[in-house]
Structure 1
Amino acid sequence: MRQWRIDGWRSHPLDAQREVLQNLVTSAQYTEFGRKYHFSNLYNIRDFKKAVPIHEYNDLKPYIERCMNGEQNLLWNSPIVWFAKSSGTSGDKSKFIPISEESLEDCHYKAAKDVLTMYYQFKPDSTMLTGKGLVLGGSHNINALNEEAQFGDLSAVLLQNSPFWGHWLRTPELSIALMEDWETKLEKIAAQAITENVTSVSGVPTWTLVLFKRILEITGKPTIADVWPGLELYMHGGVSFTPYREQFKKLVGKEIHYLETYNASEGFFAAQEVPGEEGMLLFTDHGIFMEFMPVGEYGSAQPQTIGLKDVDLHTNYAPVISTNGGLWRYLLGDTIRFISKDPFKIIVSGRVRHFINAFGEEVIIDNTDRAIHMACAETGAIVNDYTAAPVYFSDAGNGGHEWLIEFEKTPENIAAFITSLDAALQSINSDYEAKRHKDIALKMPIVHALPKGFFIEWLHHQGKLGGQHKVPRLSNDRHTLEAALAFHKAQGTTS
């Protein structure tokens, strides 16, 4: 029955999206927001886009704060008593995304069931449900502003609201999954998980690797497959998996399936239909209406968006979403590219604010992730994480890019790695290649090799260890890089 439903919206995505928007507008027409923008008089997509401006978080923040203080019927017509705390990258302030009953049931949980259904369609003989799924999530807090409203990161909200039988299929137990202290939590997860028959793992790659290494230390086993012989699936998201793939293969020690999902506090947007195939199937019937802003429109006075039927392949767009949690024409902040239109499949290419374009080079995270992967393959290096920023023109010379790279395995020749990284980036990005020509605009990259564990220590120093906190890989200014470099120098490990 569920596969039949998936086939329906997969085959008719435009119809599904029109119906989603109609349901959203109808449901919210008598909310404060709906009355302000005359939802009861909106009859088509064109009218909706004309009436409602594009919002970023700070535009909706006054509504959200009032809702956190107990007011209701502001952005959505059903009670909002849960908020997903989204910290984003290490430099961002916290956002509190409203979570309604509808966004839980008709978006997050529905999408999770569809992912499971698609996986079993791909692998009918799977034994995944005979064991447990290890979920590496975040923490949980009680919102002190009133007795009813609560917040945690998305994984905590989902765990807290999942049906009781869901906990039978999951490890660790809820009391451990929702612990605040990340270091203690990892120890307890490891201690409990090694006694279970874990058949699937889901979590951000960075923290999953930390857990895997700790489990191998505790057990003395050579590979994760020796700890969990039944492990068959790793579900990942949040950051590109490209830099981590080889490390996972080495640590796991056997062939398993890797499945990428695209879910965030704001909603569950897409997932790989078939593990290993490029691109994620866009979820068009899960309570979210989607528009797509060409990235060049970002920052303009009246940015324009297009619908699914008008998107082009291999063009970077910033998704603008309206959701059954009360986000209206909300700029998500990611950038995506379509690699297929039948069905609609996407890849996440970066963030609207995470790029380097100080000299017209237009370098995005997808470029640098691929370049890192190519340089590692050529030099035998293994990279854990990185951040990069521009070096501005000065009397001393041309501009360039400066990188802080944490190596799991440092290349034997760092100069060869830098040369390979630069060449790979030129092969991927023609604008970067043009600026690098004869060092006219950009000089050779500056790379600082960081010791293993540096970025975890840095996040810990900032009080942002664990959960969904991530290092911003690219910045168009030097604030993040300078802060990390200062910490690096203070540690006495400058290279």
Structure 2
Amino acid sequence: MSIKAIAAKIFAKRVHAQTQKWANNPIETQQKVFLDLIRQAENTQFGKDHHFSQIKTFEDFTQHVPVRDYEQLKPYVDKVVAGESDVLWKGKPLYFAKTSGTTSGAKYIPLTKESMPFHVKAARNAILSYIHETGKADFVDGKMIFLQGSPEMEEKNGIKLGRLSGIVAHYVPKYLQKNRLPSWETNCIDDWETKVDAIVEETFNENMSVISGIPSWVQMYFEKLKSKANKPVGELFKDFNLFIYGGVNYEPYRAKFEQLMGRKVDSIELFPASEGFFAYQDSQTEKGMLLLLNSGIFYEFIKADEFFSENPKRLTIKEVEIGVNYVLVISTNAGLWAYNIGDTIAFTSTKPYRVIVTGRIKHYISAFGEHVIGKEVEEALQKAILGTNISVNEFTVAPQINPESGLPYHEWLIEFDSEPEDLEAFALKIDSEMRQQNVYYDDLIKGHVLRTIVITKVAKNGFQEYMKSIGKLGGQNKLPRLSNDRKIADFFN
């Protein structure tokens, strides 16, 4: 074992001990974060407008600070973007993470000198947690690749802005710089397909040990590698033993990935966003990701099925239950206050607090009151595929409210790598799994309000073409699993 690997194991042990301290004291840790955030932002414009000086408890906070999404917080963000100081957080942010907005064009998420280190530390600690648990550290001597956005940045009123993954690229520690791929020049390529081709050329003859990125885009990279090498990725990179991913659930991709790799590799799931780094997988045996309670973020949780009611109850960490679908609401040291990030989560454990991402509060199907969420369609497909030779590249689901004939239904648009011999039987299998998971959906089928699902086959690379058509090919962009409308479905019909 190299000196570098030995040092990594020693460092991992130390970080694990530090993590255990706050993980074993979750309620006290969150209370301390809460009071610290309020105190530091007391004299900001937002703090004065919302009477932070009077806030002593969480109950005070809920009375003075309503839950907001980006559109509702935008008047304050616009002031920050215009160059004003002490608006949402003290001083000015270091960066803006620029993301795609839904109704207002680009979104500018502030990153401050207080929040930025936690983005970097969380990614590092996820790897160190894996090293501590498994004892595996030899991969630190190999090459590592992180498929991400361009590190090039623009400037707006003296504040740099860019993709979060590109900003984080500036913070890669020196001891990893020699191991890290792709090159700076390749990382700066804007066109995703051109960029992946360049990454293939740069990495083809390297000793890759760690590969990281959103599964759908890593899959494109793997397909190009396999095609060029004419052998599985696992044979090309014999020391490749760790896949790090985030952004979407890996399970729908796992079978295809293992086929492309030719073998299984360990994986670590991350839960990062421009708004904060919320959780990482801290165990290879336990389900879920460790919620980071000591990272400058105070968490609130609202039951997803109550979220759109007039006055939903806002819960703290001590009030949550395992298995309930919650909307995640955050207040952070980047100046986001009672901010709805749009993700839904469920707890798999409360000792320590571990979560899974179940979907997006805006990405659901409830055209008939069925309340179908992303986790349900992913699990239904995964179970339907189990034990078969069927392989799926990508999929999305939309309601068909006005069919040409017969009852309405859910349309599953699926890009197969290996198709089922009997498409209708496969559809019924998925439908059966859906009915077992979602009682509302089951009632609608039983009551002849809906018919069973209909599968529409999407041509190879069809979803890539769709993402390209809306200017969201590659990087951190993800295809929604669910839509309550037919904007995506109509592209293919």
The answer (yes or no) to whether the contact 2:148–2:187 under 8 Å persists in 1 is yes
Residue 233 of structure 1 corresponds to: 242
Residue 19 of structure 1 corresponds to: 32
Structure 2 counterpart of 1:98, one-letter code: P
The answer (yes or no) to whether the contact 1:140–1:180 under 8 Å persists in 2 is no
Residue 51 of structure 1 corresponds to: 64
Cα distance change, pair 121–164 in 1 and its aligned pair in 2 (3 A): closer
| Matching of residue 200 in structure 1 with residue 213 in structure 2 | no
| CA apart distance, 1:20 | 0.9
- Listed one character per residue, the Cα deviations across residues 467-487 of structure 1 (whole Å, up to 9, x for unaligned) are 1111111112223322x224x
Cα distance change, pair 363–378 in 1 and its aligned pair in 2 (3 A): farther
Could you say what secondary structure the match of 1:355 adopts?
A: coil
Over aligned residues, Cα RMSD in angstroms?
1.9
Cα distance change, pair 414–378 in 1 and its aligned pair in 2 (3 A): farther
Residue 274 of structure 1 corresponds to: 283
The answer (yes or no) to whether the contact 1:243–1:373 under 8 Å persists in 2 is yes
Provide the rounded CA distance (Å) in 2 between the counterparts of 1:379 and 1:4. Answer: 43
Provide the rounded CA distance (Å) in 2 between the counterparts of 1:393 and 1:462. Answer: 25
- For residue 219 of structure 1, the aligned residue among 223, 229, 236 is 229
| CA apart distance, 1:47 | 1.4
Residue 320 of structure 1 corresponds to: 329
- For residue 112 of structure 1, the aligned residue among 123, 135, 157 is 123
The answer (yes or no) to whether the contact 2:96–2:162 under 8 Å persists in 1 is yes
Residue 397 of structure 1 corresponds to: 406
| CA apart distance, 1:275 | 2.3
Residues 56-75 of structure 1 mapped to structure 2, 5 A cutoff:
56-75=69-88
The answer (yes or no) to whether the contact 2:84–2:92 under 8 Å persists in 1 is no
- For residue 457 of structure 1, the aligned residue among 453, 461, 465 is 465
| CA apart distance, 1:18 | 0.8
Structure 2 counterpart of 1:262, one-letter code: F
Structure 2 counterpart of 1:56, one-letter code: D
- For residue 410 of structure 1, the aligned residue among 414, 419, 422 is 419
Provide the rounded CA distance (Å) in 2 between the counterparts of 1:239 and 1:125. Answer: 25
The answer (yes or no) to whether the contact 1:88–1:470 under 8 Å persists in 2 is no
Structure 1 counterpart of 2:286, one-letter code: E
| CA apart distance, 1:144 | 5.2
Greater mean alpha carbon deviation, residues 291-300 or residues 262-271: 291-300
Percent identity, aligned pairs only, is 36
Could you say what secondary structure the match of 1:425 adopts?
A: helix
- Listed one character per residue, the Cα deviations across residues 280-322 of structure 1 (whole Å, up to 9, x for unaligned) are 1111101100000111232333332101111111110001100
Provide the rounded CA distance (Å) in 2 between the counterparts of 1:257 and 1:88. Answer: 34
Greater mean alpha carbon deviation, residues 373-382 or residues 19-28: 373-382
Residue 101 of structure 1 corresponds to: 113
Cα distance change, pair 125–389 in 1 and its aligned pair in 2 (3 A): closer
The answer (yes or no) to whether the contact 2:458–2:492 under 8 Å persists in 1 is no
| CA apart distance, 1:150 | 2.2
Specify every segment of 5 or more residues in structure 1 that has no aligned partner in the other structure, as ranges: 487-495
Provide the rounded CA distance (Å) in 1 between the counterparts of 2:155 and 2:272. Answer: 27
Provide the rounded CA distance (Å) in 2 between the counterparts of 1:180 and 1:258. Answer: 28
Residue 189 of structure 1 corresponds to: 199
The answer (yes or no) to whether the contact 2:80–2:92 under 8 Å persists in 1 is no
Structure 2 counterpart of 1:479, one-letter code: K
Structure 2 counterpart of 1:467, one-letter code: G
- For residue 470 of structure 1, the aligned residue among 478, 483, 486 is 478
Residue 174 of structure 1 corresponds to: 184
Structure 2 counterpart of 1:128, one-letter code: F
| CA apart distance, 1:66 | 2.3
Cα distance change, pair 92–171 in 1 and its aligned pair in 2 (3 A): farther
Specify every segment of 5 or more residues in structure 2 that has no aligned partner in the other structure, as ranges: 1-13
The answer (yes or no) to whether the contact 1:68–1:81 under 8 Å persists in 2 is no
Could you say what secondary structure the match of 2:193 adopts?
A: helix
Provide the rounded CA distance (Å) in 2 between the counterparts of 1:395 and 1:481. Answer: 15
Structure 2 counterpart of 1:199, one-letter code: S
Structure 2 counterpart of 1:103, one-letter code: S
Cα distance change, pair 230–455 in 1 and its aligned pair in 2 (3 A): same
- For residue 354 of structure 2, the aligned residue among 345, 348, 360 is 345
- Listed one character per residue, the Cα deviations across residues 157-213 of structure 1 (whole Å, up to 9, x for unaligned) are 111244444422321122222321111111111111223222111100000010011
- For residue 6 of structure 1, the aligned residue among 1, 10, 19 is 19
Could you say what secondary structure the match of 2:345 adopts?
A: strand
Residues 83-94 of structure 1 mapped to structure 2, 5 A cutoff:
83-87=96-100, 93-94=105-106
| CA apart distance, 1:41 | 2.3
- For residue 299 of structure 1, the aligned residue among 308, 313, 328 is 308
Residue 9 of structure 2 corresponds to: none
Provide the rounded CA distance (Å) in 2 between the counterparts of 1:70 and 1:165. Answer: 35
- Listed one character per residue, the Cα deviations across residues 64-107 of structure 1 (whole Å, up to 9, x for unaligned) are 22222222211111431311122379x994322111121111x2
Could you say what secondary structure the match of 2:483 adopts?
A: coil
- For residue 485 of structure 1, the aligned residue among 474, 477, 492 is 492
Provide the rounded CA distance (Å) in 1 between the counterparts of 2:152 and 2:485. Answer: 33
| Matching of residue 150 in structure 1 with residue 163 in structure 2 | no
User: Normalization by structure 1: what TM-score?
Assistant: 0.92
Provide the rounded CA distance (Å) in 1 between the counterparts of 2:236 and 2:301. Answer: 44
The answer (yes or no) to whether the contact 1:167–1:173 under 8 Å persists in 2 is no
Residue 10 of structure 2 corresponds to: none
The answer (yes or no) to whether the contact 1:86–1:468 under 8 Å persists in 2 is no
Provide the rounded CA distance (Å) in 1 between the counterparts of 2:66 and 2:375. Answer: 29
Residue 490 of structure 1 corresponds to: none
Cα distance change, pair 125–374 in 1 and its aligned pair in 2 (3 A): closer
| CA apart distance, 1:341 | 1.0
The answer (yes or no) to whether the contact 2:324–2:347 under 8 Å persists in 1 is yes
Provide the rounded CA distance (Å) in 1 between the counterparts of 2:233 and 2:285. Answer: 20
Greater mean alpha carbon deviation, residues 231-240 or residues 385-394: 385-394
- Listed one character per residue, the Cα deviations across residues 354-373 of structure 1 (whole Å, up to 9, x for unaligned) are 11112222211101001111
Could you say what secondary structure the match of 1:299 adopts?
A: coil
- Listed one character per residue, the Cα deviations across residues 267-286 of structure 1 (whole Å, up to 9, x for unaligned) are 11111111253111111101
- For residue 450 of structure 2, the aligned residue among 424, 442, 448 is 442
- Listed one character per residue, the Cα deviations across residues 401-450 of structure 1 (whole Å, up to 9, x for unaligned) are 1121111112122112111111121122222122112x611102121111
Structure 2 counterpart of 1:168, one-letter code: K
Provide the rounded CA distance (Å) in 2 between the counterparts of 1:39 and 1:141. Answer: 37
| CA apart distance, 1:335 | 0.6
The answer (yes or no) to whether the contact 2:126–2:268 under 8 Å persists in 1 is no
